[in-house]
Structure 1
Amino acid sequence: MSVVVDAPRVEHHREPLGIGERMPRLSWIVSSAPSDWRQTAYRVDVERDSATESFEIESGEQVLVAWPAAPLGSRDVATVRIAVRGADGAWSAASAPTTLEAGLLEPSDWIARPVGAMRNENPQSDERRPSLVRGEFEARADLVRARLYATAHGLYEAVLNGERIGDDTLSPGWTVYGTRLRYYTYDVTGFVRPGANAIGAWLGDGWYRGRLGWRGGFRNLYGTDQSFLGQLELTYADGTREVVATDHSWRTAASPILHSGIYDGEDYDARQEQPGWSTPGFDDAGWEIAQERHRDPATLVAPTAPPVRCTEEVRPVEVLTGPSGSRILDFGQNLVGRVRLRVSGEAGATVTLRTAEVMQDGEIYTRPLRTARSADNYTLAGREIEEWEPRFTFHGFRYVEVSGWPGDLDADVAAGALVARVYHTDLERTGWFESSDPALNRLHQNVLWGMRGNFVDIPTDCPQRDERVGWTGDIQVFGPTAATLYDVSGMLSGWLRDVENEQLPDGTVPWYVPVIPADKMWTPLRPGAAWGDVATLLPWTLYERFGDTGVLRAQFDSARRWVDLIERIAGPSRLWNSGFQLGDWLDPAAPPNDPADARTDRYLVATAYFAKSARTVARMAEVLGLGAEAARYDTLADEVASAFAAEYVSDDGTMTSDAQTAYALALQFDLLTDPRMRDAAASRLAQLVHEAGNRIATGFVGTPLVSDALSANGHVSTAYDLLLERECPSWLYQVEQGATTVWERWDSLLPDGTVNPGQMTSFNHYALGAVADWMHRVIAGLAPASPGYRKIRFAPRPGGGLTSASARQLTPYGEAAIAWRIEGAELRVEVRVPVGSEAVLDLVGAGEETVASGLHSRTVPLAG
């Protein structure tokens, strides 16, 4: 068998166009090789400016290896191929090529200025009309390359000669704009014509100046202007480059979009369209001269992750009629996106689409949306066929109430006239799970859909109500599951840069990032356990799952400053027992309107996280070669663990908070070093689960930990009992109630079919879905045993009456997989180990065995 190397990957980019790294790291997968083959060296061929350099490196590494050539400059293009050598000294053929291209890396590269309307607007009004901007230019016939570098204050969609540029949406996304404003790079070579051309953009408020926040929210949080910044660079055959940049020569007019907002939806009047506005020769004499706005090119950064895109279309499964006569589309799936319509009717007729996640009493139920209008209005122009989809908003919904439809709604829906388009950051899927239990498979799908709907540029808490912010605690607990299901390495490492940008000088990590004003509960910023610990635990998760030491290096100072802050707060006692804490948020025993009132002492939670973060910073320092720092934080973690045990753990292993979350924290954060105490705590945890009728008794903090605390300490069967319970509260209660995503509350929908009365009642939150990572690692039995899956652990633990399970994982080294099934009294297991990795196969009753890359099958007597 020959050795085959796939085309290399550049950093964490799916499409390495317009990248921001001067020396991008490279990774590759050896997709085919003889059994037991091992890489001993690799060669990187880098072609630049028609010259090729080759670099041979003696190393077995193939994930995020250093760029060997000279640093990239702005606009530089390089084509990279990889060859590898085995122990026999033979080189493989070179891989297929990957072509990468740098963006604009220097502030001085930017000559464009943001341009927008000069209209006087009430800065606090809903009646702020979005704008169009346009300009014209001439191009020569010998064009060889054209690149558009674009961003906005607000949101934009670029057009060139009447054609939409790119398939991204909600660009440039949501960052801490004052320090990081993303720009995107588009290859528009095929759009530019010899002679006259026109370029323009649609604009919307977005997060930059739209309404954000609770209880009515705030506007203009980042600025008052709505403007487009575009720099089109034309390169000709003789090497000359011309730049077409936004400036005062551009013109602007009101858009047919009458209103657009993240929370409130979009209103569009097709009668006010201006056909041909983005084509050359259009008469824009009636348009205003665009006003140039302030720019700071030092804040412009290239993206580290894919943009938000439409990844799927979903058609309604049923058209319902409510008691009021309302017509309601049921899409069969709670999703995030927008509805595209195709409609015929008289000019001036308006179609209204109102969205909701649930129904109650036969009608869409919008109370959980709070003040989010979540509605779109389309006024027809009277053409034979009109097609429309909102541009600058998104909704979380399963149901859509349609009013004003001018045709036969039932027939038109059957013909595809209304389709839900699913939008989220276009991450690569990496993890799959199946089992013999359809309810567990549906739970896994619910977790997957919930993640998709809440990874809309940033990791949000919910996608439907007047909130949709990047809660740090939610992604901290869900990070391992996110990193299993999708390649989140680029997206979350980029978001962590904003976490550090928003971190206060004293080390306080905000509750959500980017930070926006809120009520007195969240403002001013205060340190809080589990939420602030995202600064330590999420970088470590990305390192464990993707083998990226770079994220540790980038975030180490942020992580260290967080732990140093808690050390100062705790003082010599090493107990974090003061201040505002959310504790085990949304414990099912907490009152509907006081979700922090959990069974577990919030300061027990805080001190446990203090110990965990101190230990994690020590491990980060160790990886980075910072020996003295590693020793210091290890000592601190030991001191906190000792203080925790003295304060919260009795001699018999019981805890002052006799609750599932307390024991799960103590066990999973290694705060009980005495094996006798660990056994006692695990036994008490299992007893608590059974005393509760196997119903869940944990909130955001305990839920990601409780299953592992049981299964890792001799109580696998109890972990299955907890997972497979169907009475409220439980994971499968939600499934039994028809959930298609994971809920914010265990009982967001009450057993009587009514919606929970709490003010926070979302039907699409991912935090409680963190159990999916346990399903992959313990039920199927596939987990990383060293960073980046260089070593894999296959350790399935069948139970709960399951007769089969499987998991696949696209690791940085290639696909790893496991499938097991029970046949009679035997367990049959098949595993796949990618080239470059090795694995430990740990089957109950058979001991541990190390296996090399390739396919392996084992049959062992069924344990128990």
Structure 2
Amino acid sequence: MIFTRPVTALLLILVLREAHAQHPEVSGQLAFSSAHWIAAPFSTVRDGAEEDGSHPLPVFRRTFTVRARPVKATLRIVGVGQWDAWIADSHEARPVASPGLHGAWTDYRKTVAYDTLDVTRLLHPGANVLSVMLGNGMFNVQKTSLEGARKGTRYTKFTGSFGAPKLIASLELKYREGRTEVITSDSQWKAAPGPLLFDSAYGGEDFDARRDDPTWKLAGFDDHAWQSAKAVDGPGGELIPAIALPVGVHETYKPVKTTTLAPGRVVYDLGQNFAGIVRISVHGPAGAILRLTPGELLNADGTVSQATFHGPMWWSYTLRGSGDEAWQPLFDYMGFRYVQADWVKSPWPYSEPVAPNADATVLSIKGIAEHTDARAVGTFESSSEMLNRIHHLILAAMHNNEVSLMTDCPHREKLGWLEQTHLQADGMMFNNDLRALMAANDRNMADAQWDNGIVPTIAPEYTRFGSIYGSFDDSPEWGSAAILEPWWTYTFYGDRAQLEKDYPMMQRYIAALAGKAKGGIVEYGLGDWYDIGPKPPGLEQHTTLGVTATLMLVQDAQTMECIATLLGHADEAARYGDLATRTADAFNKRFWDEVHQWYDTGSQAANAMPLAIGIVPAEHHQAVLEHLVADIHALGDHTNAGEIGYPYLLRALAKEDRDDVILAMLMRKDPPSYGSQLEVGATALTEAWDANPHSSQDHLMLGGAEQWLYRRLAGIDFDRSRADEAQQITVHPIALSGVDWVRAGFDSSLGHIESDWKREGTRVAYRITVPAGAHAMVVLPPQAASDARARLLASESAIQSRFLVGAGTWTFSAPAN
């Protein structure tokens, strides 16, 4: 009896998120003081049973009268798992929020985030109706199967339910004379089964437009046959204003190639691997079914492959049969590049295509990207086409994994794997303002923290994986995000209050991790995940278990010393400093190989990480660096480090001014390299270095080069944690041979910074922009000159020239390499 959010002539309403710190008076208790959680009176959950596609999701409506136009109307709403809502008079229903995926993913037993929307312009004097459609999302992830022949299962990563979808809402109307009226969710609401017959965050959606009455959202609709909604208990979590920004609609992708494989079967290439949905326009008879199968790659026969999904998923639309029809999935999104459109007899089971009725036609199809509405803050381009393509490869994977939390791939996982929130934080925050997203991640980590202080590998912890691969629920390289991600975030935004909020979580985590050390060594976890060896990728192959985990404890303790000092906890800072020293000493004693003058097995990860975090004794420093560089060269300027070791490898080389080695690695086109991914046609960063077609083609975890492009090649070395405010903005471009120019901009929390440089004969010209009210340290090669030296404080050395500059745009010149 319903439809979906409108897909044409959308009225974009500004979604106003109220930060709890900015509006402390609007607590969840106050916002919903007279509201009740409500659910459909019919079951939408089959406990312990398989979901077979015959379980319609509920829709709700509430009619009310507006006696005069309000001066302000605010809707506070949360529908778990996902929701869409409209307000209408008797003529037109308009969405209350901009298109996108509504509803933050949290541990609903601990935190429930509500959305706050200004709906003033949607209300009219007279009869109005607020209508809501609910989806399962991560709230209700059920086992799925194919009925009938049962040829397999519709994919799901895990199963687990917080209960049937439910909602709570409060619509507050303020009138000119000061009167306030509140319409809340209660038993006056009506509910009915909707046209969404199947909905899974992993398996897709089945929508039957024949069950839609286009007038159900209008005030004049006769809902006497609908049932009264029932008051139910909430999921238990604290109601708070949404922390993360909305997940909105962004890029649109039209087919770059269309291939008809057979009557009723067409494959569309959208040209880009992205996270989102499809939008279709179709025409045909009532009951005709179009099945849409997304995928990242193609099979040899030209059909869409779902090998990287680890199981089948699809969307299906059953036509109403009334002229041209438009539709897009409501609550499910996927990571894909290709879409296979099949006219089928039934979406269940997975039936083969049939020759379509002559009138059944796909009029148009396009891809719609969905990711967080976080503002873009960075730009990077250079004279190197390879570097530009690597930047876009990584940036695509970042966007594709930004929803209300950071996922690691947008199809088979969709879980908040935590390691990338600190390993890739630097590169991500140079591109988007992720302050809100990281704050939401911090809340999820605190909610996920175990009673013993350990922070698990994923947050929210919707499932536990047990002992797969040894330790899939608790690994120090992942759990250390509880300390390292908030610190990275502080270095970009300088938010001391957020650090104070997170500090208890950090204290509990480092105490738990230190408690697991034996003789100073932490010897468990996933290690340097996905390093490159003779075996298929997974657990580390080149580095001994305990190397990366122990070094995480060292870095955690170093970071906690900084945080405790910043927050004024001198005694605690001293204890954390002592822990860092003792653990570093234990690491050097256990893993230093005096004979070979390297760490552990001499692997890139084992040598790079101690260099990056600064614990290599001075007498061994040069030998470790030489071994690291020699190993890279011996492998043909390639890495063999995994997800954990690779970003530290880049940081170590940059710290030692061996950016030439990094550039040589980035220029390679043979595997393992970014270039090899580009050579096989990847349009987003892949999970495996060799773009293995059985691994994800849209993964964030190997994106470490993005940090180097901004911080070293462009030289925007930004850090709000530096005590000297004049050095928080340090611009130190590295004009490497082989690159002729670089242009980069960054809207930092202190203002806009630009760093441009270009080779001009035997010299390099630099153009640096410093934001208003700020100072910057500009670091250039020796013998650098400025066209405005009289306005500078300059110091020269044989190694570099340093200029302290104020706001404005500055030009410099220095000898080329």
* Residue pair 2:195, 2:212 contacting (<8 A) in 1 also: yes
Once the two structures are superposed, residues 587-643 of structure 1 have per-residue CA deviations (whole angstroms, 9 ceiling, x without a partner) of: 021622x51132011201111111110110110001101111111100110111111
* Residue pair 2:419, 2:480 contacting (<8 A) in 1 also: yes
Pick closer, same or farther for the CA change 1:536–1:642 going to 2, 3 Å: same
Picking from 231, 236, 245, the partner of 2:175 is 236
Please give the alpha-carbon distance, in whole angstroms, between the structure 2 residues aligned to 1:650 and 1:608.
Answer: 16
Picking from 97, 100, 114, the partner of 1:169 is 100
Please give the alpha-carbon distance, in whole angstroms, between the structure 1 residues aligned to 2:632 and 2:358.
Answer: 54
Picking from 13, 16, 39, the partner of 1:116 is 39
Once the two structures are superposed, residues 661-704 of structure 1 have per-residue CA deviations (whole angstroms, 9 ceiling, x without a partner) of: 11110100111141x42221111110000000112211111111
Per the alignment, residue 489 of structure 1 pairs with 435
Picking from 781, 784, 787, the partner of 2:715 is 781
Instruction: Report which stretch shifted further, 140-149 or 612-621.
Output: 140-149
* Residue pair 2:56, 2:198 contacting (<8 A) in 1 also: yes
Q: CA deviation at 1:836?
A: 2.4
Q: CA deviation at 1:304?
A: 2.1
Please give the alpha-carbon distance, in whole angstroms, between the structure 2 residues aligned to 1:768 and 1:409.
Answer: 47
TM-score scaled to structure 2, two decimals?
Answer: 0.88
Pick closer, same or farther for the CA change 1:590–1:609 going to 2, 3 Å: farther
Picking from 711, 715, 720, the partner of 2:658 is 715
Question: Secondary structure of 1:530's partner?
Answer: helix
Picking from 743, 753, 756, the partner of 1:819 is 756
Picking from 50, 67, 70, the partner of 1:125 is 50
Please give the alpha-carbon distance, in whole angstroms, between the structure 1 residues aligned to 2:534 and 2:16.
Answer: 49
Per the alignment, residue 32 of structure 1 pairs with none
Per the alignment, residue 94 of structure 1 pairs with none
Pick closer, same or farther for the CA change 1:530–1:218 going to 2, 3 Å: closer
Pick closer, same or farther for the CA change 1:107–1:604 going to 2, 3 Å: same
Q: CA deviation at 1:181?
A: 0.5
Per the alignment, residue 423 of structure 1 pairs with 370
Pick closer, same or farther for the CA change 1:818–1:206 going to 2, 3 Å: same
Per the alignment, residue 558 of structure 2 pairs with 615
Question: Secondary structure of 2:810's partner?
Answer: strand
Please give the alpha-carbon distance, in whole angstroms, between the structure 1 residues aligned to 2:357 and 2:709.
Answer: 47
Are 2:302 and 1:390 aligned? no
Instruction: Give the paired residue count.
Output: 754
Please give the alpha-carbon distance, in whole angstroms, between the structure 2 residues aligned to 1:643 and 1:740.
Answer: 43
Q: CA deviation at 1:526?
A: 5.2
Q: CA deviation at 1:799?
A: 2.2
Pick closer, same or farther for the CA change 1:737–1:193 going to 2, 3 Å: same
Per the alignment, residue 155 of structure 1 pairs with 82
Please give the alpha-carbon distance, in whole angstroms, between the structure 2 residues aligned to 1:252 and 1:109.
Answer: 20
Per the alignment, residue 530 of structure 2 pairs with 586
Per the alignment, residue 411 of structure 2 pairs with 464
Per the alignment, residue 435 of structure 1 pairs with 382
Amino acid at match of 1:533: S
Instruction: Report which stretch shifted further, 796-805 or 388-397.
Output: 796-805
Q: What runs of 5+ residues in structure 1 fail to find an aligned partner? A: 1-13, 25-71, 75-102, 750-754
* Residue pair 1:720, 1:800 contacting (<8 A) in 2 also: no
Pick closer, same or farther for the CA change 1:785–1:234 going to 2, 3 Å: closer
TM-score scaled to structure 1, two decimals?
Answer: 0.84
Pick closer, same or farther for the CA change 1:654–1:702 going to 2, 3 Å: same
Please give the alpha-carbon distance, in whole angstroms, between the structure 2 residues aligned to 1:595 and 1:298.
Answer: 36
Pick closer, same or farther for the CA change 1:250–1:225 going to 2, 3 Å: same
* Residue pair 1:508, 1:562 contacting (<8 A) in 2 also: yes
- TM-align CA RMSD: 2.4
Please give the alpha-carbon distance, in whole angstroms, between the structure 1 residues aligned to 2:253 and 2:636.
Answer: 38
Per the alignment, residue 138 of structure 2 pairs with 207
Per the alignment, residue 127 of structure 2 pairs with 196
* Residue pair 1:170, 1:206 contacting (<8 A) in 2 also: no
Are 2:161 and 1:225 aligned? no
Pick closer, same or farther for the CA change 1:211–1:682 going to 2, 3 Å: farther
Q: What runs of 5+ residues in structure 2 fail to find an aligned partner? A: 1-12, 145-153, 344-354, 784-800
* Residue pair 1:320, 1:327 contacting (<8 A) in 2 also: yes
Pick closer, same or farther for the CA change 1:18–1:660 going to 2, 3 Å: closer
Q: CA deviation at 1:170?
A: 2.7
Please give the alpha-carbon distance, in whole angstroms, between the structure 2 residues aligned to 1:777 and 1:359.
Answer: 37
Amino acid at match of 1:568: G
Please give the alpha-carbon distance, in whole angstroms, between the structure 1 residues aligned to 2:808 and 2:358.
Answer: 57
Q: CA deviation at 1:410?
A: 14
Once the two structures are superposed, residues 61-91 of structure 1 have per-residue CA deviations (whole angstroms, 9 ceiling, x without a partner) of: xxxxxxxxxxx564xxxxxxxxxxxxxxxxx
Per the alignment, residue 845 of structure 1 pairs with 782
Per the alignment, residue 793 of structure 1 pairs with 730
Question: Secondary structure of 1:455's partner?
Answer: coil
Percent identity for Structure 1 against Structure 2:
28
Once the two structures are superposed, residues 346-387 of structure 1 have per-residue CA deviations (whole angstroms, 9 ceiling, x without a partner) of: 11111111000111312211121112x331111111122111
Picking from 139, 144, 161, the partner of 2:71 is 144
Q: CA deviation at 1:827?
A: 0.9
Question: Secondary structure of 1:738's partner?
Answer: coil
Please give the alpha-carbon distance, in whole angstroms, between the structure 2 residues aligned to 1:18 and 1:429.
Answer: 18
Pick closer, same or farther for the CA change 1:339–1:406 going to 2, 3 Å: farther
Picking from 822, 825, 835, the partner of 2:772 is 835
Please give the alpha-carbon distance, in whole angstroms, between the structure 2 residues aligned to 1:643 and 1:324.
Answer: 68
* Residue pair 1:20, 1:104 contacting (<8 A) in 2 also: no
The within-5 A match list for 1:504-519 is 504-519=450-465
Please give the alpha-carbon distance, in whole angstroms, between the structure 2 residues aligned to 1:350 and 1:679.
Answer: 67
Please give the alpha-carbon distance, in whole angstroms, between the structure 2 residues aligned to 1:133 and 1:786.
Answer: 48
Picking from 683, 687, 691, the partner of 1:740 is 683
Q: CA deviation at 1:492?
A: 0.9
Picking from 229, 238, 247, the partner of 1:308 is 247
Q: CA deviation at 1:726?
A: 1.2
Please give the alpha-carbon distance, in whole angstroms, between the structure 2 residues aligned to 1:108 and 1:267.
Answer: 35
Pick closer, same or farther for the CA change 1:267–1:739 going to 2, 3 Å: same
Per the alignment, residue 379 of structure 1 pairs with 318
Amino acid at match of 1:198: V
Q: CA deviation at 1:536?
A: 0.9
Q: CA deviation at 1:109?
A: 4.5
Question: Secondary structure of 1:609's partner?
Answer: helix
Pick closer, same or farther for the CA change 1:158–1:342 going to 2, 3 Å: same
Per the alignment, residue 854 of structure 1 pairs with 808
Pick closer, same or farther for the CA change 1:324–1:256 going to 2, 3 Å: closer
Q: CA deviation at 1:476?
A: 2.1
Q: CA deviation at 1:228?
A: 2.0
Please give the alpha-carbon distance, in whole angstroms, between the structure 1 residues aligned to 2:474 and 2:199.
Answer: 35
Please give the alpha-carbon distance, in whole angstroms, between the structure 2 residues aligned to 1:659 and 1:220.
Answer: 40
Q: CA deviation at 1:786?
A: 3.8
Question: Secondary structure of 2:375's partner?
Answer: coil
Picking from 280, 288, 296, the partner of 2:219 is 280
Please give the alpha-carbon distance, in whole angstroms, between the structure 2 residues aligned to 1:716 and 1:236.
Answer: 63
Please give the alpha-carbon distance, in whole angstroms, between the structure 1 residues aligned to 2:108 and 2:298.
Answer: 38
Please give the alpha-carbon distance, in whole angstroms, between the structure 2 residues aligned to 1:248 and 1:611.
Answer: 56
* Residue pair 1:212, 1:516 contacting (<8 A) in 2 also: no
Pick closer, same or farther for the CA change 1:299–1:524 going to 2, 3 Å: farther
Question: Secondary structure of 1:606's partner?
Answer: helix
Question: Secondary structure of 1:631's partner?
Answer: helix
Please give the alpha-carbon distance, in whole angstroms, between the structure 2 residues aligned to 1:261 and 1:625.
Answer: 48
Amino acid at match of 1:110: S
* Residue pair 1:319, 1:410 contacting (<8 A) in 2 also: no
Instruction: Report which stretch shifted further, 708-717 or 521-530.
Output: 521-530
Please give the alpha-carbon distance, in whole angstroms, between the structure 1 residues aligned to 2:707 and 2:142.
Answer: 35
Q: CA deviation at 1:519?
A: 3.7
Please give the alpha-carbon distance, in whole angstroms, between the structure 2 residues aligned to 1:517 and 1:590.
Answer: 31
Q: CA deviation at 1:144?
A: 1.6
The within-5 A match list for 1:239-278 is 239-278=178-217
Please give the alpha-carbon distance, in whole angstroms, between the structure 2 residues aligned to 1:848 and 1:208.
Answer: 55
Pick closer, same or farther for the CA change 1:729–1:18 going to 2, 3 Å: closer
Q: CA deviation at 1:195?
A: 1.6
* Residue pair 1:723, 1:730 contacting (<8 A) in 2 also: yes
Once the two structures are superposed, residues 811-830 of structure 1 have per-residue CA deviations (whole angstroms, 9 ceiling, x without a partner) of: 11221011111122111111
Please give the alpha-carbon distance, in whole angstroms, between the structure 2 residues aligned to 1:410 and 1:693.
Answer: 55
* Residue pair 2:740, 2:759 contacting (<8 A) in 1 also: yes
